[in-house]
Amino acid sequence: MIESKHIDRLRQIAGKENILTSKEELVAYSYDATNLWSHTPDVVVLPADTEQISEILKLANDNQIPVTPRGSGTNVSGGSIPIKGGIVLCTTRMTRILEINKTNLNATVEPGVILQDFNNALAKEGLFFPPDPQSSAGCTMGGVVAENSGGPSCLKYGVTKQYVLGLEVVLADGKIMKIGGLTPKNRTGYELIMLFTGSEGTLGIISKITLRLLPAPKANKTIVAVFGDVAIAGETVSEIIDSGVLPSKIEFVDNWTFEKFQGLLPPEILANAQAILLIEADGLPEIVETEARQIVDICKRSSTLEVRVPQDGEEAQKYWQARTAHFSDISSAAYTIVNEDVCVPRDRIAEFIRISREQARQNDVPLSIAGHAGDGNFHPVVLTDSRDREHFQRALKCVDEIIETALSLGGVLSGEHGIGLEKQRFLKKAMDPVAIDTMKKIKDVLDPNHILNPGKIWEEAPDEE
């Protein structure tokens, strides 16, 4: 337990109204979007600026108090759960968009800015920040950078790390470090920006972010392709990419989510469907038209049950909303879900889906698969109930087998959710031991007392709740 004199010091630093200690308040910061773990912190601190973060970390480092950084807690790997208690340092008061510069195609923001607010501000300027974790209504820019978030548009535009130009980071001992800058090119020293992007709050607290932007695409077109066979849907993804077209998005949903497509697609088609691909081409209008035609032709050749092109943006949006609803639909379909995010090479997608479904059948557990198929990045979700130990053990066994399958096909453990608490037990299988050792040494140098997000990535996770 944190000593009361340290809580008093936190009150001096951030103001007493920004220190939360009641049981009800602490519970609100004890969990994230995973549902296997929770742990209450001793105190929640809501700093207003970089200097306050620096003072908080000095106090924590001098007294070896754990600090778990937190934005909105939407991550799905247990990353913001204060598993060792101590301080939750939450950035949601730091919400200023400091600059949007159209000529330089960059913007500087505080870490607590909500991604959707940022996107809305960019849209007014005709600008575009492509990474789009499907939690944009809630997630913060600090969380997006700390998780190196992705989303549907990464197929064409890449993930967050491709857009971070500059960072201000508060190190474990409270020192404030500025890295990178405002320019798209910068070859000065080591690429520390890449190190902190995706570091899951274990190396420093991100207190300011400068991002590269793009002009917003002038046009886009959605293509909806419905398949009676999941493997054919997977093969179609490869065929689209092989043809030389690069859509902005190719998203995959299996039949768990089809209820949301009712009213959008004919009932007799949905009754026989096993998978839907939602594809988007974007860019200049004439190029979008040509690419959309090419994609439609490929889908039609692939024994689809149905291929449609929504008439306008409003209709297209309904299909994308049905896709986005997958996570909330599946979350409410079972007491416990185990949601993974493996990534496999595109030419192994069909094989991955086929084997995973067979593994779920053999373990007799429900499995839903959705994901960013264009990147080979899938969210296999096993539905279970952690109160039913026997079912839960079968579910975990199935998850292990699916991850083994992805790795054996040349894939990776996490395409976008990070390691957090959720995937620690797979790390040794998924990473070169020399790389693990090197990363641990980096952690030791930057955070010798291991106060920053302790218990994450490197340590074996405790048993789930």
Ligand X SMILES: Cc1cc2nc3c(=O)[nH]c(=O)nc-3n(C[C@H](O)[C@H](O)[C@H](O)COP(=O)(O)OP(=O)(O)OC[C@H]3O[C@@H](n4cnc5c(N)ncnc54)[C@H](O)[C@@H]3O)c2cc1C
Measuring CA to CA, which residue among 452, 405, 447, 451 is closest to residue 426? 405
Longest dimension (CA), the chain: 70
Measured from the CB atom, is 384 or 414 closer to ligand X?
Answer: 414
DSSP letters of 195-206? Answer: HHTT-TTSS-EE
**One of 41, 66, 86, 150 touching ligand X (CB under 6 A):** 150
For residue 205, the minimal CB distance to ligand X (Å) is: 4
For residue 438, the minimal CB distance to ligand X (Å) is: 20
Measured from the CB atom, is 135 or 304 closer to ligand X?
Answer: 135
- Give the number of residues written for the chain: 465
Give residue number: closest CB to ligand X: 143
**One of 69, 374, 454, 455 touching ligand X (CB under 6 A):** 69
Contact status, residue 357 vs residue 365, Cβ threshold 8 Å: no
- Measured CA to CA, the distance from residue 166 to residue 22 in angstroms comes to 37
Cα–Cα distance list, 358 to 109, 366, 398, 440 (Å) = 46, 11, 10, 37
Residue 340 binds ligand X, judged by CB under 6 A: no
Stretch of 66-74, 275-283, 284-292, 421-429 lying at the interface with ligand X (CB under 6 A): 66-74
Cα–Cα distance list, 199 to 14, 205, 339 (Å) = 25, 10, 20
Measured from the CB atom, is 234 or 455 closer to ligand X?
Answer: 455
Contact status, residue 153 vs residue 172, Cβ threshold 8 Å: no
At 31 the three-state DSSP class reads coil
- Measured CA to CA, the distance from residue 2 to residue 4 in angstroms comes to 7
Stretch of 74-82, 213-221, 282-290, 397-405 lying at the interface with ligand X (CB under 6 A): 74-82
Measuring CA to CA, which residue among 351, 463, 453 is closest to residue 84? 453
Which amino acid, 185? K
- Measured CA to CA, the distance from residue 399 to residue 412 in angstroms comes to 14
> How many CA within 13 A on the CB side of residue 318?
14
- Nearest 5°: phi and psi at 51? -60, -40
Measured from the CB atom, is 132 or 291 closer to ligand X?
Answer: 132
Residue 47 binds ligand X, judged by CB under 6 A: no
Measured from the CB atom, is 288 or 378 closer to ligand X?
Answer: 378
Residue 10 binds ligand X, judged by CB under 6 A: no
Measured from the CB atom, is 52 or 74 closer to ligand X?
Answer: 74
Stretch of 40-48, 149-157, 186-194, 278-286 lying at the interface with ligand X (CB under 6 A): 149-157
221 sits in the region (left: phi over 0; alpha: psi -120 to 50; else beta) called beta
Measured from the CB atom, is 290 or 331 closer to ligand X?
Answer: 331
Measured from the CB atom, is 372 or 391 closer to ligand X?
Answer: 372
**One of 256, 258, 327, 378 touching ligand X (CB under 6 A):** 327
Measuring CA to CA, which residue among 383, 326, 377 is closest to residue 349? 377
Stretch of 198-206, 231-239, 273-281, 439-447 lying at the interface with ligand X (CB under 6 A): 198-206
Residue 73 binds ligand X, judged by CB under 6 A: yes
**One of 44, 76, 167, 288 touching ligand X (CB under 6 A):** 76
**One of 85, 142, 247, 380 touching ligand X (CB under 6 A):** 142
151 sits in the region (left: phi over 0; alpha: psi -120 to 50; else beta) called left
Measuring CA to CA, which residue among 278, 274, 370 is closest to residue 315? 278
Stretch of 133-141, 345-353, 392-400, 442-450 lying at the interface with ligand X (CB under 6 A): 133-141
Residue 33 binds ligand X, judged by CB under 6 A: yes
Residue 75 binds ligand X, judged by CB under 6 A: yes
Measured from the CB atom, is 101 or 331 closer to ligand X?
Answer: 331
Stretch of 38-46, 65-73, 250-258, 342-350 lying at the interface with ligand X (CB under 6 A): 65-73
For residue 201, the minimal CB distance to ligand X (Å) is: 3
**One of 42, 55, 147, 251 touching ligand X (CB under 6 A):** 147
- Measured CA to CA, the distance from residue 320 to residue 278 in angstroms comes to 8
Residue 72 binds ligand X, judged by CB under 6 A: yes
At 300 the three-state DSSP class reads helix
Residue 111 binds ligand X, judged by CB under 6 A: yes
**One of 57, 59, 144, 342 touching ligand X (CB under 6 A):** 144
**One of 30, 50, 134, 210 touching ligand X (CB under 6 A):** 134
DSSP letters of 76-127? Answer: SSSTT--TT-SEEEE-TT---EEEEETTTTEEEE-TT-BHHHHHHHHHHTTE
Residue 149 binds ligand X, judged by CB under 6 A: yes
For residue 390, the minimal CB distance to ligand X (Å) is: 28
Identify residues 200-259 at the interface with ligand X (CB under 6 A): 200-201, 205-206
Cα–Cα distance list, 377 to 154, 248, 257 (Å) = 10, 14, 18
For ligand X, the binding residues (CB under 6 A) are 32-33, 68-76, 79-80, 91, 111, 133-135, 139-140, 142-144, 146-147, 149-151, 200-201, 205-206, 327, 416, 453
